[in-house]
Amino acid sequence: MSDSVLIRGAFIRLTKVTILASAAYSTFGLCLNQQAPPQNLVNQTKPNILLIVADDMGFSDIGSFGGEISTPNLDTLASDGGLKLTNFHVAPTCSPTRSMLMSGTYNHLAGLGAMAEWVADNQRNKPGYEGYLNERVAPLPALLKDAGYHTFMAGKWHLGMLDGQGPDSHGFDESFAMLPGAGDHYSDRGLFPFMAKTPYRENGKGVTLPEKFYSTEFYSDKAIQYIDEAIKGKEQPFFGYLAYTAPHWPLQVDKKYSDKYKGKYSAGYEHIKAARLEKLADLGLIDTHGTHGSGNACYPQWQQLSSVEQAKQARLMEIYAGMVDALDENIGRVVQHLKDIGQFDNTLIVFLSDNGADARPEQGLADEAKYVQKTFDNSMQNMGSANSFVSYGGAWAQVSNTPFSLHKGMVNEGGIRVPAIIRLPKHQTSENNESQTLTEFTSVMDLLPTFIDLAGGKLPGTEYKGREVLPVAGKSILPYLRGEQDYVHKNEAYGFSVHGRQGLQYNQWKLVRLPAPFAKGQWQLYNLDEDLGETRDLARQQPKKLREMIARWDSFAKETGVIISDKNVKTPKECLIEQRSELVSQVYE
């Protein structure tokens, strides 16, 4: 099969691309020696780097990726000299992705082989499953700090909650961080009976949130503050990590945003999905003759709902859309500030989601539902307000992830392929300033070596500041972005495993194993060139290819220390109670 080629100024159909991947060690194409800084950067000021991460946003939620939600600022980033990466992969859930982002290697090695809230008994206290970003990696902000950058972050951390595990201990000069994986968007009120208060830290010290607080707006304000502090009187570039918690549940946003979408979703799941598919085809992002995720039987179809439930479901999606709208508006504020202070043209801006949209039930999981119903006002007229706690469920999540199958937590494309936008500094963009769609396989692990490459820094190899560390598994994508090569990874395996779900990609082939009720725990095989929606399992028709892919998985799992979770997965409540005596003061008090 021939390699796909970078098409400058034009779109290429996703189903015709070669699915390539990265891996953790030399047997999986490990790149240890990065290229020297490109000649066109010599004698120029090092560019700033702004990394923006949305939380639980689906592939087609923004306009430039096929969505109906108003996202003019992100769309402008994608169209005005920007690059849309349509084959960008992450981990199936939040903290595993963030550990890969901060380490450049697999989450099973970096400490988040499972989310800290869901570590199984057979994984507990094993290397790679510590539940925080471990000491076996050299963290991205520290490496950029070594390269002369001022580093800051604002938003969600989710990579450790104890002393010594926060962003201030991993190379960030300044940080305002929500430590756990979720929080109320209007206050630090805890969302669960075992978490009375959501812990926030600024530069490692506990803080009280202001009375007027909304996460998306506040994190944007903090980022602007930190940018100003970084450039004031300093002759060094900055690395900013803006980690929003929107549109992660609970769905909360001012009605001026959600009411913009009144009636928009009353036609239901299938209607919105069809409209997105049509727009994706018009944009050239999918093959009109290709397959797309058809929806899992675990979730209802629109016509199966009563009129009352339809109205409720439509309102939930209106609120979700409002959160995405508000997110885009605030990203626009940060970008405009860069323009106002003359830093926009010298800033690399990267936007992505940490995983696919979430299928969490409307009022939480079984062990939370009673608490939610007792504590929050989730009446129809109050949904989306500060004292409500709702999510929009699996049916809408599958719509958000159009054209792919399933959602967050799954190893199908709906869980691990996300929207990604890169806007290079002005001196590195093409003269025609046209938007480009890049279709080669890339992953979140590639960002660390890309940023270090751009910064003119060095990767640590196997030692960092006197301690042994794991080598970086990702590769710099700068040569691909510049058109100097037409691929990032070739003939390399990319594996993923979290909470009883496993998968692996090698070129166009995809291996998937899901537990009940989504599947029967058997390996499934897909050819993504022909079946982007993962609708035709070829395991029986292609037994030789299946055996080959399973062998690749076994090698990957051995090399990266994957431990498949047993059935004794503790709930977040049990895990956090276990840790209670170790937690820093006032975390849950």
| Residues annotated catalytic, as ranges | 94, 158
CA nearest neighbour of 59 among 278, 355, 481, 292 = 355
The helix/strand/coil state of 58 is coil
Core vs surface per residue 486-513: b (16+ CB within 10 A) or e: ebbbeebbbbbbbbbbbbbbbbbbbbbb
> Which stretch of DSSP H or E encloses residue 219?
helix 215-231
Q: Which two tokens stand for residue 326?
A: 């508000």
The helix/strand/coil state of 283 is coil
Q: Which two tokens stand for residue 151?
A: 């580093």
The label of the residue with tokens 């970078």 reads 6
User: How many angstroms separate the most distant Cα atoms in the chain?
Assistant: 66
574: Cα within 13 Å, side-chain hemisphere: 9
Question: For residues 487, 354, 38 and 84, what is the CA-based torsion angle, rounded to 10 degrees?
Answer: 60
Q: Alpha carbon of 323 to those of 50, 55, 157, 318, 463: distances in Å?
A: 21, 11, 20, 9, 42
- Cα angle 553, 554, 558 (rounded to 5 degrees) comes to 115
Question: What is the rounded CA–CA span in Å between residue 321 and residue 311?
Answer: 15
Cα 420 from chain centre:
9
For residues 588 and 195, is the Cβ–Cβ distance under 8 A? yes
Q: Alpha carbon of 142 to those of 137, 151, 359, 588: distances in Å?
A: 11, 8, 35, 29
Question: For residues 63, 292, 101 and 46, what is the CA-based torsion angle, rounded to 10 degrees?
Answer: -50
Q: Which two tokens stand for residue 524?
A: 């499934």
The helix/strand/coil state of 9 is coil
